[in-house]
Structure 1
Amino acid sequence: MKSIIKVLAVFFVVTFSACTKDVYDAGQNPDPNPGQNGSLPGDFTWSLSDETELTVNIEGLGEEKYIVEAYIGNPAIDPTARLIAGSQQKVNNSIPYVRNISIPTGLETIYIRVTDSRKRVSVYGFDVTKGHMVCNIGTGGAQTKSYAMSTRAAEAEMPQIDYSYEGKTLVELTGSSDITLQPGTVYIIPKDQTFNGQVSINGGGDILVYVEGTWQVVNSFKYEKKSVIYVLDGGKVETSGNTTLTFVESSMLAVQKGGQFGDANARISLSFNTSNNVVNEGLLYAENLSVTDKCSIYNSGDLVVTNLSTATQNNYIVNKSKIKAESIDLLNGVIDNYCHLVANQITTRGQVAHINLFPSSYVEAGKLSADHLDLFMDAKSMWKGESASFAGWDNKVRGGDTDWALLKINTIEVKTGAGKLLNYSGMVNIECKSHTEHPSQWNPCYGLIAPANFSEGQGFAEIDPNECNGNGGNHNPGEEPGPDDDITETNTLPYTYLFEDNWPQKGDYDMNDIVMSVTLRNTTSASDGKVKALDVDIKLYAVGARKKLAVAFQLDGVPAGAVSGSESNQQYAVIRLFDDAHAELGGASGEIINTYKYDNNLVKEIHKQIKFNTPLDQPISVGRFNLFAIWGDADANKRYEVHIPGFRGTNKAMSSELSTDVYTSTEDGWMWGLCIPFIDFSSFPKESVNISEAYSGFDKWISGDNTPNWYLNPIEGKTIVVK
């Protein structure tokens, strides 16, 4: 490999001269054997796109018709997403969508956009595979079955509390006298009685207090060593000031149905550590509620708290009814939500925090700040919020595998620059007005694994109103189906073509003798899905050659007779775009234009529409769009055509092996043309600057390293950057 690189360096630096020196008269016959100048790796191709057969199966969604499109970028959230294969309307449960597509080499994900007959739109993500991609849309579309809850069943069950004090020796607490609670003693505040004395603990545990009447807590104290406060049906604990109750060493607070701890103006704080439990079956209010070290909160009543926090992985919050909080700070720990949880702010951090939404449950969070969050959403559960931000690493939003859940958040921000920080998977439908886009398609910040999907507009997940979601739910009937219309696709991914005009001799390889971009747009019939027309939009950016150059394209595999106006004496349809590139840009014959200094006002836009006399079964993609330059006499029976490697010459090309095979030198593998996917690409080499010197990574690419997106790294001062 080192010897190859050395040879190539000599090849580029010494052999080549400026474009002004490799000019030929139109009739000159150049040497068809350029000579041995080193060779590329044996398996190297100049292709920057991979040809793939795409099959999309609609599974479990009935027999209605769907429109299927394939994109680079997520069209639900990214306005720069580009179509690579598009609409064929006769697709349903029985008829798959099959297209041949071109995917930029090195791209990890493509997005499949599905529109149903009621114009409800959803977008799915799939990992790119070469050769043949199969994408399953619907209930069977999962690429993974990793949907287990992030908790054990035992922790999700409400503890069975015995609130009875029968058979126990009781000490009554009444009045305003101060008291020191003694270890091993059972106390009761009788019904219709009030106790508001100061409390202290005599350094021991096993203290039980039953509240049937009213306990007005007037001071802070620590409750320890298997001590319990039971708030019984009809009992109430309240406070008139800021107080803190601390529970340690297997102690517990239990509120029976009909009992009440605190009130709407509560300024009481509760702190639990070392194997303590909070069990609320009634009504519990608190200013602050914090748990650490094997402590759990179980709620089957109404829990209203200003600040709720956990501190370890073995903290569990199990909600069987309703929790309302101003803020929830989940430092590790698990929330199992079976019903209704509302918070203005939820923050997750630490090694990993888990939030599990059980079937038909509901969470409403004004703002979610997630760092290391694993959010699981089972069938027909719903998360509603204003905003969410994801940072740290390994954030997950996972749906189940039996029915759809709905994640409905207006704005989702994902920290960029550190790879995929967030992954969506499972049967979760995402409705989002604004979502962080990938910094580039080569550097994704989130992953979308089918069947997880984004909706455009309202989510499609059908969720019935119930007590847990506040009788809200989600229902999206879409629009009434209308007549099937012909489908005109949006613009496909543009490709930029760079040509060296000296074929079959070497040039200076600044690859700017012709610089142009091409966008293809197919129109398909609603009745049979066949292609009726092709629109070709072209931007001619620069001409860095002295010789006269024409440009044409051949539609490989399309018979010449299928297209009116194609060149005569050709097997396949050949359409001439222009005969003189200099004239197209308004320049004089032989004038170098836009390769020394760029002027956007000189760029020429060209549009061609082709209507097929015989409609095509498959749309025209870049893999069948054989664009080429012609130097010399474009009308000659045999002419000098310059093609992209991998494409063959037309019937009018020179009859040498070089012109009819793959348009690379058979001796050293070098090319005269490149076709670059125009995702973020917007540059080309300056006049007389070899392409290997114009882009960082080009030399590694041609030596066999995996750097397919080298063209996104132009070197300042050596390239023209198109604004």
Structure 2
Amino acid sequence: MRTKFLSIVLGLSVLASSCTSELIVDASKTNDINGLVVPAGFEWKTSRDVNFNISISDIRFKSGLHVVSVYGANPTTGAVALSKGTASLSSPFSTKISIPSSVKEVYFVKTAPDGSKITQKVALTDASTLAVSLGAVSSGRFGVSSESGMYVTSASSETSPDCSTGCDMTVSSGTTIDLDSKTGSQTICLTGSNYSVNFNANSLNGGTLRICGTNITLNNLNFNSGAKYTVIITSKGSANFSNVNWNSADVTVKNFGTLNVSSNLIVGGTLLNYGVVNANSELQSRSGSSIVNDGQIIVKGSASLDGGMTNNADITFNGEVRLNSSGQTVTNNGKMTAVGNFIINSSTTLTNNSYMTANSMQINSSGILNNKCQLLIKTDLGVDKTINNDGYISVGGNTRINGSGVVNLFNGAMLVTNTLNTYDGKITGTGANYSLFKVLTAASNTINNGGGQKLTGTVQFSEPSDILKSSFLDGTAQKTKDGGIYIPKTECSEGNGTSPVTSNDSDKDGVIDSEDAYPNDGTKAFNNYTVASTVAFEDQWPSVGDYDLNDIVLSFTYKIVTSAANKVVQVNADYSLKATGGSYNNGAGIQFNIPSGNAKNFTGNVGAGAGLEAGQDSVVVLLFTNARSEQSSWNTRPEESVVADKNYSFSFDVVNGPSIGNFGLGAYNPFIYNNSPAFGRGYETHLFGKQPTKLVNKGLFGTKDDASNTNTFYSTAKKLPWGILISTANFKYPKETIKITETYLRFADWASSGGKSSVDWYSNTSEGYRNNANIFNP
């Protein structure tokens, strides 16, 4: 038997460059492995074990089971889930995966009981545990925010200073301050209350005005072009700007208290607001300026924005808002309200990651609207360019999609409009879940103007008169007059329709058939896969060898089958013997952390005399008992003929199995043993730190070069191993007697850094990484 597993390289393999030319060896990088100094805790493997704990915060289905899939690469690229299991509101999904150290992010896909999916990308750190909570909504695309949750006032990234220290000058009553070459670079502190300060600003060289008093009015403060200055309103302070001329990009205003602006607020540099800003007239921002709001901004007039803006909290515009400058971006991560019209002009971008309302909205030529949560438009929406909608858009009036307009809906997104009188552009759907474009009131025949396919991809068009021409649809898009498909309600979306009755769980294990790998077997539900990897051993234990690490070379993958309760019910393995670079009659096996009596129904394609090993207290599977009977050539000596890889496979059921979180997905405990005369079964060689089996000769520990009695198992006194684990099935091992450090020139750097540096030492083919002359190439 040989089960064909998917090669779980799955985008996890480190991308190698195309350079494979012979390299000039830098002697300083080919350190003798016996001279290496490695940090404590280093395990001599190119991966790390990550414990994932995935909880559910989606309350829509009460105690229903959600299916969680963990990917090591973007699932939209065809990657296969490494681990898969169930989670509910009361029970998280826990799994442990050996992840290549070169992988810096993972993807989670949650499938709800109704079949709807959300995806979240999370960065990996050096931590051994990663906790994630999956809600009802996320981005349907990658490269965009997936945290479109409820609006929460952002915490300040800075703390407010005071005026008790650091003041070069302190003012507590009305006066005139000359900002000359000296005072213009000082820190001036304003204390007290209810007075005005006039400024004669001649030279501003990086000074600071710190306002700790209350109701202090600043008159005629001119920030001319080139001026460098900082104004800080502290948390206990309040200031009034009167006739402030802000032309310099090098001026920063930080407000932790209250800032009142009686005339137009014109931002020329950087405005950082952590308190309250009351702009009693217009708000204008110059090109190149920046406004970041972590508090509250109220604009009573209109807003004309040429600079960037990021709202992390609460901002209200009571007049019209215009985005003007090419390349300008405005991002809402909090709550944004536009009482008037919102106009996105040419080559500007509005991104809404949270909650936004506007009276009307117009997207002009080259303008872009990215909506990733909820956008409510009270009257009309005009689309002359691009909408990218991952969330929910509601239009209370009419929507016009003009000839150059494009509405892109992603993965279950929704746009609902009261009327649609112009449909000359395009509507597209992308993602596994259909999106919905819904028209509430019967449309006129004007939406049938033009020709070609205007409705494409995974999108449904709902309109009560069903007037839209079928010729406008491609083979995937749909149209209906019956109210539209079911869209689940989330934190962002109001949803549509009622949840369909879930009746597609054939084996009644709580996992819907579309997510169940075994829909007719209630004891099995999911396939979990290890990353395709290689183990490479030295066979001289307890003596050190020549560290060519080619005495036994085995690549492998595992498929671990689990139940709906996330318990291991079956183990499947594929191994390939690549090299047997030695004269010993070496055997090879794998030890599992499962009691020996819990393995049932073993089947396998293994060597003579191999299989489930008797006399063990845990499950041990032998692949072969004599490597010299498995391969006639060593596959390490260029002068000899090369023999094909020898393949092995085995499978066994597990009763009373452990959870996948405890069993994990990795190499488990592979080992070799010297079955030659004068040696025997007790001469086991395991990877660094791994436990021996019950049949080891314990008397060998602490003899010759082994320091297991005083150090970790299978370690020398210098913490060197007898085997390494590499995160690829295609490891190019050294030729016979050539050390690993003389072949892979960054190996020493990797080892001495404890695996933190040169994590791609085995896969990177760029100059300085390997000496190709020392690699065995069949």
TM, length-normalised to structure 1: 0.53
Equivalences for residues 665-684 of structure 1 within 5 A: 665-678=715-728, 682-684=731-733
2:568 & 2:386 partners in 1: Cα distance?
46
Match of 1:604 in 2: 646
CA contact under 8 A between 2:555 and 2:730: conserved in structure 1? no
Superposed, 1:514-663 pairs within 5 Å as 514-526=552-564, 528-556=565-593, 558-564=594-600, 566-584=612-630, 587-588=631-632, 591-593=633-635, 596=638, 602-618=644-660, 620-623=663-666, 625-633=668-676, 638-655=681-698, 656-657=700-701, 662-663=712-713
Structure 1 residues 182-230: Cα deviation after superposition (integer angstroms, max 9, x where no partner): xxxxxxxxxxxxxxxxxxxxxxxxxxxxxxxxxxxxxxxxxxxxxxxxx
Q: 1:314 to 1:489 in 2, by over 3 A?
A: closer
Q: Does residue 498 in structure 1 map to residue 536 in structure 2? A: yes
Residues 328, 347 of structure 2: 8 Å contact kept: no
Q: Distance in 1 between matches of 2:691 and 2:351?
A: 62
Distance in 2 between residues matched to 1:380 and 1:67, nearest whole Å:
28
The aligned residue for residue 512 of structure 1 is 550
Cα shift at 1:143: 7.0
How far apart, in 2, do the equivalents of 1:333 and 1:86 lie?
Answer: 33
User: Per the alignment, do residues 314 and 633 of structure 1 end up closer, same or farther by CA in structure 2, a change over 3 Å counting?
Assistant: closer
Deviation at 1:581, TM superposition (A): 3.2
Give me the whole-angstrom Cα distance separating, in 1, the residues matched to 2:621 and 2:717. 31
Change (3 A) 1:696 1:319: farther
Residue 574 of structure 1, CA deviation: 0.7
Match of 1:118 among 114, 121, 133: 114
Shift of 1:653: 1.6
Letter in 1 for 2:575: I
Cα deviation, 1:366-404, whole Å, max 9, x if unaligned, reads 9879xxxxx99775579999899xxxxxxxx9x9xxxx9
Q: 1:583 & 1:329 partners in 2: Cα distance? A: 70
Q: Equivalences for 1:131-142 in 2 at 5 Å?
A: 131-138=128-135
Amino acid at match of 1:359: L
Identify if the C-alpha distance between structure 1 residues 143 and 549 changes in structure 2 by more than 3 Å, giving closer, same or farther. Answer: farther
Please state whether the residue corresponding to 2:742 is helix, strand or coil.
Answer: helix
The whole-number CA distance in structure 1 between the counterparts of 2:641 and 2:77 is: 29
1:69 aligns to what? 69
Q: Residue 686 of structure 1 aligns with which residue?
A: 735
Equivalent residue for 1:712, pick from 741, 763, 774: 763
Give distance in 2, aligned partners of 1:649 and 1:342.
70
Q: CA deviation at 1:650?
A: 0.8
Go from structure 1 to structure 2 and tell me whether the alpha carbon gap of 1:605 and 1:508 turns closer, same or farther (over 3 Å shift). same
Matches within 5 A, 1:442-453: none
Equivalent AA in structure 2 for residue 566 of structure 1: L
SS of alignment partner, residue 614 of structure 1? coil
Distance 2:101 2:135 in 1: 28
Q: Distance in 1 between matches of 2:526 and 2:326?
A: 56
Displacement of 1:643 in angstroms is: 0.8
Matches for 1:207-286 after TM superposition, within 5 Å: none
How many angstroms does 1:312 deviate by? 7.5
Query: 1:638: Cα distance to partner?
Result: 4.6
**2:94 is aligned with 1:78:** no
Match of 1:406 among 413, 429, 432: 413
**Residues matched between the structures, number:** 476
- Whole-Å Cα distance in 2 between the matches of residues 313 and 69 of structure 1? 37
Of structures 1 and 2, the larger Rg is shown by: 1
Secondary structure of the structure 2 residue equivalent to 1:711: coil
Residues 56 and 49 (structure 1 numbering): CA distance in 2 closer, same or farther, change over 3 Å?
Answer: same
AA of the residue aligned to 2:347: D
Deviations 1:329-351 (A, max 9, x none): 22899999848879797467xxx
Cα distance between partner residues in 2 of 1:345 and 1:720 = 58
- Shift in Å, 1:292: 9.3
Contact kept in structure 2, 1:337 and 1:357, CA below 8 Å = no
Q: 1:366 to 1:548 in 2, by over 3 A?
A: farther
2:412 touches 2:433 (CA, 8 Å); kept in 1?
no
- Cα distance, 1:600 vs structure 2: 9.7
Aligned to 1:628, what secondary structure does the other structure show?
Answer: strand
Distance 1:74 1:651, change over 3 A: same
Q: Compute the RMSD of aligned alpha carbons.
A: 5.6
| Kept in 2: contact 1:465–1:474 (CA 8 A) | no
TM-score with structure 2 setting the length: 0.50
Q: Contact (CA 8 Å) 2:307, 2:325: kept in 1 or not?
A: no
What SS class does the counterpart of residue 683 from structure 1 fall into? Answer: coil
User: Which ranges of structure 1 fall in alignment gaps of 5 or more residues?
Assistant: 16-36, 151-249, 251-272, 276-290, 370-374, 389-396, 409-430, 434-455
1:329 pairs with one of 344, 347, 351: 347
Compared with structure 1, are the counterparts of its residues 140 and 695 closer, same or farther at alpha carbon in structure 2 (3 Å cutoff)? same
Whether the 8 Å contact between 1:293 and 1:312 is mirrored in structure 2 is no
Q: Residue in 1 aligned with 2:46?
A: 48
Query: Is the CA contact 1:510–1:689 (under 8 Å) kept in the aligned structure 2?
Result: yes
2-structure distance, mates of 1:125, 1:598: 49
Q: CA deviation at 1:137?
A: 0.8
The match for 1:697 is 746
Conserved 8 A contact 1:465-1:473: no
Alpha-carbon deviations, 1:211-266, whole Å to 9, x = none? xxxxxxxxxxxxxxxxxxxxxxxxxxxxxxxxxxxxxxx9xxxxxxxxxxxxxxxx
2:735 and 2:776 in contact (8 A); partners too: no
SS state of the match for residue 57, structure 1? strand
Mapped to 2, the partners of 1:365 and 1:41 lie a distance apart of 60
Aligned partner of 1:645: which letter? Answer: F
How far 1:533 sits from its partner (Å)?
A: 0.8
Give the CA deviation at 1:547. 2.2
Secondary structure of the structure 2 residue equivalent to 1:602: coil
* CA separation of 1:637 and 1:567: change in aligned 2, threshold 3 A: farther
Structure 2 CA distance for partners of 1:583 and 1:405, relative to 1, 3 Å = same
Distance 1:512 1:465, change over 3 A: farther
Contact 1:537 1:608 in 2 (8 A): yes
- The letter for the 2-side match of 1:78 is T
Tell me, in whole angstroms, the C-alpha distance in 1 between the residues paired with 2:556 and 2:761: 20
Instruction: Give the CA deviation at 1:575.
Output: 0.7
Instruction: Tell me how far apart the structure 2 counterparts of residues 343 and 539 of structure 1 sit (CA, whole Å).
Output: 59
Q: For residue 602 of structure 1, report the CA deviation from its aligned partner.
A: 1.4
CA contact (8 A) 1:684 1:720 kept: yes
Write the mapping of 1:86-165 to structure 2, written as runs, cut at 5 A. 86-87=84-85, 89=86, 91-105=87-101, 107-129=103-125, 130-138=127-135
Contact 2:573 2:650 (C-alpha < 8 Å) held by counterparts: yes
Cα distance in 1 for partners of 2:730, 2:771 equals 14
Q: Is the 8 A contact 1:641 1:653 kept in 2?
A: yes
Q: Distance in 1 between matches of 2:386 and 2:743?
A: 45
Give the SS at the match of 1:134.
strand
How far 1:38 sits from its partner (Å)? 5.9
Matched residue SS, 2:130: strand
The whole-number CA distance in structure 2 between the counterparts of 1:463 and 1:315 is 25
Q: Deviations over 1:494-537 (max 9, x none)?
A: 221111222222222221222222211122233x4422111112
Contact 1:628 1:643 in 2 (8 A): yes
CA deviations on 1:650-673 (whole Å, 9 max, x unpaired) are 111221335767444331111111
